[in-house]
A and B are shown apart, each in its own frame.
Chain A
Amino acid sequence: MPKTLAEKVYDAHVVRSADGEPDLLYIDLHLVHEVTSPQAFDGLRAAGRTVRRPDLTMATEDHNVPTLDILSPIADPVSRAQIEALRKNTREFGIRLAPMGDRDQGIVHVIGPQLGLTQPGMTIVCGDSHTSTHGAFGALAFGIGTSEVEHVLATQTLPQYRPKQMAVTVDGELPPGVSAKDVILAVIARIGTGGGQGHVIEYRGSAIEKLSMEARMTICNMSIEAGAKAGLIAPDQTTFDFLQGRPHAPQGADWDAAVAYWTTLQTDEDAVFDREVHIDASLLTPYVTWGTNPGQGLPLTGSVPDPADFADEDERRDVEQALAYMGLTAGTPLREIKVDTVFVGSCTNGRIEDLRVAAELLRGKHIDPDTRMLVVPGSVGVKAQAEAEGLDRVFLDAGAEWRGAGCSMCLGMNPDQLKPGERSASTSNRNFQGRQGKGGRTHLVSPSVAAATALTGKLTAPADLTTVEV
């Protein structure tokens, strides 16, 4: 029977299947961070259990870590206690940890690919919804809760139900200045925050095939914002080239065997998807969100929507609530919205390519004097590479702040937060109320829109810069 890519990966990991029960799925890689794991380790201890496969488990510190003065003890005692709990737990259970200051430390979804731990055809889980990022390599990767973290630690498996299959096909040529972030924001605006529920999304089509691994990760990362269980992309030469030579990539005969297997990881021609969505890449323009969920997005050329234009009463109420929270007036052109802070970073857009794009727009210029810009590399490795390329100087000379690696202002669990009423243009993934700090207002954008916005102080597309006095 013809299968989709996701079905092939799923089937290859079924440990046990029985009528009336979920399948038991084997997990090839379990990534752990400080926020969703302490209660899981406590559960193991209470039951007298051990970690079944510490060799398939890796931990890092990312959500809580400060991005300034990273070698001093964390000032916030609650954050510090959580980091200390992770250190104690990984020591006790024999799990590798990349702590603050380590060359391998970083956002969990940045370091997996960077180390070559993320490979095609694997099952990967983490107590973090953006685990879908790893699907860019043709892996079946999804976020889990703390009870499931405990389950994977104890058994290296998870009970699972077979997900439904969705294809998002993006064909055509992306116009200049339009990026992977705009593609995924457009997909979410099209299908809604619940559009992918119960499904795994396979992104395919000529526009996807042309994307770099970094760009593919940006797209798969936000599958969760479309409600999907996971998102993935078939591995190809771009994938193999990215992986070859990385510390955990197979070598020698193992590499050849792996590539031979990875090459089979394609959706069969006659495979059937439960739902299909088509997007014409050539029609896309830079996207920005105006509301308080990631589906509330529009092309930057648009205006703040009018609640009166929504026929459905519940939807109208949601739009009214979103505009009230965001402090926006219906009909305002999005390009006239002034921001206080620009954030470049996160597991969505904190990789080297994202920093290069932002730096290129800033090179030799200075950001708007009333705007603060925070650039937070996704990992220590990304930071080192950016510094080797001189990108840190570009950001600093432009008046931006160059920080240490971590999740930072994506969710404000560390000191990097918006103040009440402050407005950001952010390359992160969630514009929920209060996400970046209590009362903060978030507009999700691509790295190039973020950089252009930093230059003008208003939401700006890179193409606008030629006509704007900077």
Chain B
Amino acid sequence: MDAFITHTGTAAPLRRSNVDTDQIIPAEYLKRITRSGFEDGLFKAWRTNEPDFVLNQPQCAGASILVAGPDFGTGSSREHACWALLDGGFRVVISSRFADIFRNNSTKSGLLTVLLPQPEVEALWAAVEAEPALPVTVDLQAQQVTYSPGGGQGVTVPFRTDEYTRWRLLEGLDDVGLTERNLPDIEAFEARRPSFLPKALPVI
């Protein structure tokens, strides 16, 4: 997984709540067995059926920060949703509420999810709608989002990420290697598991 330290880019305002993972990447794309190349399926239905859809707008063409309504990423556990956003050029999603599994998946795939209060999301929507080329910086080291509407006074919005996840993202570390350091603890736990617990092996 790529490390995430700080990112500056333009933002796309997605004024919808309950953006489920079926919208982010429809099920038909999940038949693939690769981990990349999902950009063609990103928001496929909305991009196809809705000319006004924000990501169809030329001013959002290079956007790398998605600013979405509450309850982003509900539904299916498909990590393909994170991969599709990354493949589509996004490094950050900002929302006031994320579905748990989506948020968890994002921390495993190097997509930064930033939780901001809804009024801050609204302010950012207004700013980027007024000025689509506005550079927005998301700094995981400092845990803040910064932007300067109209070239004027900068806005700084702090956010929180749990320290452990922040460290992992800053270092670009994957969990399996970290867990393997604790192998003796796993072996000790296995030694004391009750004997009545089931095995998945076939019963003849």
Cβ A161 vs Cβ B162 within 8 A:
yes
Cβ B74 vs Cβ A194 within 8 A:
yes
The segment from B55-63, B137-145, B190-198 found at the interface with A is B190-198
Minimum C-beta distance from A133 to chain B (A)? 13
Cβ A317 vs Cβ B15 within 8 A:
yes
The answer to whether B87 has its CB under 8 Å from any CB of chain A is no
Cβ A314 vs Cβ B77 within 8 A:
no
B197: which A residues are within 8 A, CB to CB?
28, 119, 122
Minimum C-beta distance from A53 to chain B (A)? 8
Cβ B176 vs Cβ A293 within 8 A:
no
A434: which B residues are within 8 A, CB to CB?
22-23, 26, 45
* 153-204 of chain B: CB within 8 A of chain A: 162-164, 174-176, 178-180, 182, 185-186, 189-190, 193-203
The answer to whether A205 has its CB under 8 Å from any CB of chain B is no
A250: which B residues are within 8 A, CB to CB?
196, 198
B186: which A residues are within 8 A, CB to CB?
15, 24, 26, 52, 155-157
Distance of A254 Cα from B176 Cα, bound (Å): 33
On whether A321 and B199 interact (CB within 8 A), knowing A81-B33, A145-B104, the answer reads: no
Contact with B along A242-257 (1 / 0, CB 8 A): 0000011110001101
Cβ A293 vs Cβ B185 within 8 A:
no
On whether A145 and B78 interact (CB within 8 A), knowing A39-B34, A96-B202, A229-B100, the answer reads: yes
Partner of A82, one of B31, B45, B79: B31
The answer to whether A453 has its CB under 8 Å from any CB of chain B is no
A24: which B residues are within 8 A, CB to CB?
179, 182, 185-186
B189: which A residues are within 8 A, CB to CB?
15, 26
A194: which B residues are within 8 A, CB to CB?
70-71, 74, 97, 99
Minimum C-beta distance from B111 to chain A (A)? 11
The answer to whether B13 has its CB under 8 Å from any CB of chain A is no
Nearest B residue (CB) for A318: B17
The answer to whether B148 has its CB under 8 Å from any CB of chain A is no
Cβ B74 vs Cβ A193 within 8 A:
yes
The segment from A55-63, A277-285, A337-345, A349-357 found at the interface with B is A55-63
The answer to whether B30 has its CB under 8 Å from any CB of chain A is yes
Distance of A371 Cα from B96 Cα, bound (Å): 42
A155: which B residues are within 8 A, CB to CB?
176, 179-180, 186
Nearest A residue (CB) for B99: A227
Distance of A425 Cα from B132 Cα, bound (Å): 42
The answer to whether B105 has its CB under 8 Å from any CB of chain A is yes
Partner of B76, one of A58, A122, A129, A154: A129
Most chain B CB within 10 A, of A28, A29, A56, A81, is at A56
Cβ A96 vs Cβ B45 within 8 A:
no
Distance of A121 Cα from B99 Cα, bound (Å): 25
Distance of A6 Cα from B105 Cα, bound (Å): 23
A321: which B residues are within 8 A, CB to CB?
16
B163: which A residues are within 8 A, CB to CB?
20
Distance of A78 Cα from B70 Cα, bound (Å): 34
* 17-46 of chain B: CB within 8 A of chain A: 17-18, 20, 22-23, 26-28, 30-35, 45
Distance of A47 Cα from B162 Cα, bound (Å): 28
Nearest A residue (CB) for B184: A16
The answer to whether A172 has its CB under 8 Å from any CB of chain B is no
Cβ B31 vs Cβ A117 within 8 A:
no
The answer to whether B126 has its CB under 8 Å from any CB of chain A is no
A87: which B residues are within 8 A, CB to CB?
none
A247: which B residues are within 8 A, CB to CB?
203
Minimum C-beta distance from B60 to chain A (A)? 19
Most chain B CB within 10 A, of A54, A119, A145, A430, is at A145
On whether A36 and B78 interact (CB within 8 A), knowing A145-B104, A157-B186, the answer reads: yes
On whether A16 and B182 interact (CB within 8 A), knowing A38-B33, A79-B31, A193-B74, the answer reads: yes
The answer to whether B6 has its CB under 8 Å from any CB of chain A is no
The answer to whether A392 has its CB under 8 Å from any CB of chain B is no
Distance of A38 Cα from B36 Cα, bound (Å): 12
Cβ B70 vs Cβ A148 within 8 A:
no
The answer to whether B101 has its CB under 8 Å from any CB of chain A is yes
The answer to whether A220 has its CB under 8 Å from any CB of chain B is no
On whether A430 and B22 interact (CB within 8 A), knowing A36-B77, A96-B202, A318-B17, the answer reads: yes
Minimum C-beta distance from B173 to chain A (A)? 12
Partner of A227, one of B16, B17, B71: B71
Distance of A249 Cα from B109 Cα, bound (Å): 37
B49: which A residues are within 8 A, CB to CB?
439
Cβ B32 vs Cβ A16 within 8 A:
no
Minimum C-beta distance from B22 to chain A (A)? 4
Cβ B175 vs Cβ A151 within 8 A:
yes
Cβ B33 vs Cβ A314 within 8 A:
no
The answer to whether A328 has its CB under 8 Å from any CB of chain B is no
Cβ B182 vs Cβ A258 within 8 A:
no
A43: which B residues are within 8 A, CB to CB?
176
Cβ B198 vs Cβ A29 within 8 A:
yes
Q: A24-B185, A146-B80, A155-B179 provided; 7 other pairs, C-beta below 8 A? A: A47-B176, A55-B199, A145-B101, A145-B105, A227-B71, A315-B17, A432-B20
23 contacts between A and B (CB under 8 A): A15-B186, A20-B164, A21-B164, A36-B30, A38-B33, A55-B199, A63-B30, A119-B198, A145-B79, A146-B79, A146-B80, A147-B105, A147-B109, A155-B186, A159-B175, A159-B179, A194-B74, A229-B100, A247-B203, A254-B196, A411-B76, A432-B20, A434-B45
Binding site for B on A (CB under 8 A): 15-16, 20-22, 24, 26, 28-29, 35-36, 38-39, 42-43, 47, 49, 52, 54-58, 63-64, 76, 78-79, 81-82, 85, 96, 116-117, 119, 122, 127-129, 143-148, 150-151, 154-157, 159, 161, 192-194, 197-198, 224, 227, 229, 247-250, 254-255, 257-258, 261, 292-293, 295, 314-315, 317-318, 321, 411-413, 430, 432-435, 438-439
Shortest 4 CB-CB distances between A and B: which pairs? Answer: A147-B108, A145-B79, A145-B105, A38-B33
